[in-house]
Amino acid sequence: MFDTKVAILVLGDLLMWQKLNVTAFLATGIAGAAPDAMGEEYEDASGRRYVPLLGQPMMIFSADRALLLRAHRVGYERGLQHAAYVRSMFSTGHDAANRSAFKAEPAEEPDLVGIALRGPQKDVDKAIKGAKLHP
C-alpha cells in the first residue's frame, strides 16, 4: 500500500520515559522531513479540528547499540531520510542545546539511543535487518 516505510529504532535498555521521549522526537523529525507523507486534518463528531498525522504507519523496534550503529550506517549508504537522538540530548533543555550536543558526537560512532529512517521499503528493511518490534 505504501512505497515507503518508516522505522524507529530505540535502545532497548532505556527507561520507559526515555523510550517515549526518543520515539516522540524521532517521529516529529520524520514527519517534518516528509510533508508529502502527512495525511489530512482530523475532525471529530462535533466539528472540532485536529492537526494531521503521518499518513502511514511508523513501526517501533527495540535495538542494541550495535544494531543502532549498523542501521545508522546503512541508512546513510542507502540515502534514507534519517533522524537521530544521542544520549547527551537527555541532559539538554532546548533545541539549540540538542543540536550542540549532537554535533559534539563522533560522526562514525555517535552514542545513539534512537534513530528513525524513512525511504523505500526494501532499503529500510535492509538497514533494520534483525530488529524486533518493540514489546
Mean per-residue pLDDT, 18-44: 95
Mean pLDDT of 116-131: 97
Reading the block at residue 32, the C-alpha cell is 517534518
For residue 115, give the nearest of 17, 15, 14, 27 by alpha carbon: 27
Query: Which CATH number does the domain housing residue 9 bear?
Result: 3.40.1490.10
In the chain, the number of structural domains is 1
Q: Which domain holds residue 15?
A: 4-133
Check whether 16 has a pLDDT greater than 90. Answer: yes
Per-residue pLDDT of 93-119, as tens digits, reads 899 999 999 999 999 899 999 999 999
Q: What is the pLDDT of residue 73?
A: 97
pLDDT for res 135: 84
Nearest-angstrom CA–CA distance, 8 and 38: 17
